[in-house]
Amino acid sequence: MLWIAFGGAADQGWLWLLRPGFRHCFAGLRDVEGWTVLDPLSGRLLVTRLAVDPDFDLPGFWRRAGCRVLGPFRPSAPARCWPGVVPFSCVSLCRALLGPGAPFALTPYGLFQALRKKINNKENVLDEGQFAP
Q: What is the pLDDT of residues 29-79, one digit of tens each?
A: 999 999 999 998 877 899 999 999 989 999 999 999 999 999 999 887 776
Q: Is the pLDDT of residue 5 over 90?
A: yes
Say whether pTM exceeds 0.85.
no
10 Å Cβ neighbour count for 132? 17
CA 97/CA 35 separation, integer angstroms = 15
Strand, helix or coil at 57?
coil
Q: Which residues have a Cβ under 8 Å from the Cβ of 95 and sit 6 or more positions away?
A: 102, 103, 104, 105, 111
The per-residue pLDDT for range 93-128, each reduced to its tens digit, is 999 999 888 999 999 999 999 999 988 775 444 444
The per-residue pLDDT for range 72-92, each reduced to its tens digit, is 998 877 767 666 666 788 899
